[in-house]
Chain A
Amino acid sequence: GQNIDQPTEMTATEGAIVQINCTYQTSGFNGLFWYQQHAGEAPTFLSYNVLDGLEEKGRFSSFLSRSKGYSYLLLKELQMKDSASYLCAVNFGNEKLTFGTGTRLTIIP
């Protein structure tokens, strides 16, 4: 199978840091993506990891460990507008992406 697991919901405080984890089955792995999706809108691309390590992009960073089948998305200096769903998606060697169920993040003042 190609299961992708991420927490269903998380809550964090404005100005703080939050880490959203994603685990996947390693067989056939060919790249991992994080997307942000606000309610009623389409997903927007946040990051891409294919090699081990940390990719930083402003307030957002994404980490990958291929041997562990593990990634996380780190959001710093949280803002209210960061309240959204965050989708982890994996390419397993074909042209498709397999999406996790998404993590609904709520930022509280």
Chain B
Amino acid sequence: GAVVSQHPSRVICKSGTSVKIECRSLDFQATTMFWYRQFPKQSLMLMATSNEGSKATYEQGVEKDKFLINHASLTLSTLTVTSAHPEDSSFYICSARGGYNEQFFGPGTRLTVL
């Protein structure tokens, strides 16, 4: 099956710093990737859709200048949380779209901002 990796799996940073999260499709090419965040005991909230070679499409209410997304190749998308604050602490999950619009998820990144 399709494998998606995410790095780092866990990060702790100080308020005001920026954090970059990488999402890679390991055994297939993903023209479309998605970024989600999930708060405890809640479902996934889509932040943005990342298409290779073009600008990401952000969901309503998601600040594009705060959550920078770059999909530089068919196997890599990155999410940078700029000037992170404690309220940005969450579980960030990426996924890659398959041929039937199914999504294969990475293992997630737990971000804690102190």
Interface set of A (CB-CB < 8 Å, partner B):
30-31, 33, 35, 40-45, 48, 50, 87, 89, 91, 95-97, 99-102, 104
Interface contact tally, CB-CB below 8 A: 50
Say if the beta carbon of B60 comes within 8 Å of chain A.
no
Contact in complex: A43, B44 (CB < 8 Å):
yes
Task: Name the A residues within 8 Å of B106 (CB-CB).
Answer: 42
Chain B nearest CB from A86 CB (Å) reads 11
Say if the beta carbon of B78 comes within 8 Å of chain A.
no
**B:76-106 near A, CB below 8 Å:** 91, 93, 97, 100-106
Task: Name the B residues within 8 Å of A31 (CB-CB).
Answer: 100-101
Contact in complex: A96, B43 (CB < 8 Å):
no
Contact in complex: A101, B42 (CB < 8 Å):
yes
Chain B nearest CB from A64 CB (Å) reads 14
Interface set of B (CB-CB < 8 Å, partner A):
1, 6, 32, 34, 41-44, 46, 49, 91, 93, 97, 100-108, 110
Task: Name the B residues within 8 Å of A41 (CB-CB).
Answer: 107-108
Q: Known contacts being A42-B108, A87-B44, is A97 close to B103, with CB within 8 Å?
A: yes
Contact in complex: A42, B49 (CB < 8 Å):
no
11 examples of A-B residue contacts, CB within 8 angstroms? A30-B101, A31-B101, A40-B91, A42-B107, A43-B93, A44-B105, A45-B103, A91-B101, A99-B44, A101-B42, A101-B43
Contact in complex: B42, A96 (CB < 8 Å):
no
Chain A nearest CB from B47 CB (Å) reads 11
Chain A nearest CB from B77 CB (Å) reads 14
Q: Measured between alpha carbons, how far is A50 from B102 in the docked complex, in Å?
A: 11
Chain A nearest CB from B23 CB (Å) reads 11
Contact in complex: B105, A48 (CB < 8 Å):
no
Contact in complex: B43, A99 (CB < 8 Å):
yes
Q: Known contacts being A41-B108, A42-B106, A42-B108, is A102 close to B43, with CB within 8 Å?
A: yes
Contact in complex: A45, B43 (CB < 8 Å):
no
Chain B nearest CB from A37 CB (Å) reads 9
